[in-house]
Amino acid sequence: MNKAKRIEIFSRLREANPHPTTELNYSNPFELLIAVILSAQATDVGVNKATDKLYPVANTPEAILALGVDGLKSYIKTIGLFNSKAENVIKTCRILIEKHDSVVPDNREDLEALPGVGRKTANVVLNTAFGQAAMAVDTHIFRVSNRTGIAPGKNVLEVEKRLMRLVPKEFLMDAHHWLILHGRYTCVARKPRCGACIIEDLCEFKDKNDYL
């Protein structure tokens, strides 16, 4: 795919959604961090249902730590892998208090040192909470990048690096959100909605005629 085509793709995505953001509910970097930790192998809708009950009660490292693992589990038990996630969140809260004055760090190294925080989670926080150019490649972005030809790669890190290199700079800050939303609602896994896609004519998906 050439640069002109990528520019046109992201121009259309921007025109359709000028101010994209995450679908996770949050009001500060800490709430976002916890929501993203909880969202692993879970839907944003499911996470929001849990955090909408949790955050009015506890939305600081100190308050969640005070709940303890069992107390936290009572709020997040509807989310997949809630046992291990509760352990990680409590450990993360303790580290934030002891090492970072209860402030979420704005750099990758410190974020990835937190329990339950991998590269993808760190990228979401860096991009969405701190306005840094970062690409959190989830299953949707991986699929869209490969299927459309925007930035094909064999694994998520390869796709991330190619996107960071190939997405035109003017679109880089919001590209992560556009691609996730496109994969979530249009370029879906089993039967992509090609006929309703605003970038269909630019897409390099070889088998898309099967879905028209």
Type of residue found at 30? F
Instruction: Evaluate whether residue 212 is within a structural domain.
Output: no
Q: 73, 85, 120, 174: which one is catalytic?
A: 120
Task: Write the pLDDT tens digit of every residue in 62-88.
Answer: 999 999 999 999 999 999 999 999 999
Q: Which pLDDT does position 212 carry in this prediction?
A: 45
Task: Write the pLDDT tens digit of every residue in 108-160.
Answer: 999 999 999 999 999 999 999 999 999 999 999 999 999 999 999 999 999 99
Instruction: Evaluate whether residue 188 is within a structural domain.
Output: yes
Q: What is the pTM of this model?
A: 0.89
Domain boundary among 129, 154, 179: 129
Which residues, 6+ apart, have CB-to-CB distance to 99 below 8 Å?
A: none
Type of residue found at 2? N
Tell me which residue range forms the domain holding 197.
Answer: 3-20+134-205
Catalytic (active site) residue 138:
yes
Domain boundary among 74, 97, 129: 129
Residue 184 phi, psi dihedral angles, 5° rounding: -75, -35
Q: 52, 138, 154, 191: which one is catalytic?
A: 138
| Tally of domains within the chain | 2
Q: Which pLDDT does position 171 carry in this prediction?
A: 96
Catalytic (active site) residue 120:
yes
pLDDT more than 90, % of the chain: 94
- The burial of 159, by beta-carbon neighbours within 10 Å (0-12 exposed, 13-18 middle, 19 or more buried), is given as buried
Instruction: Evaluate whether residue 210 is within a structural domain.
Output: no
CATH of the domain at 106: 1.10.340.30
Tokens encoding 135: 């690409």
Which residues, 6+ apart, have CB-to-CB distance to 5 below 8 Å?
A: 202
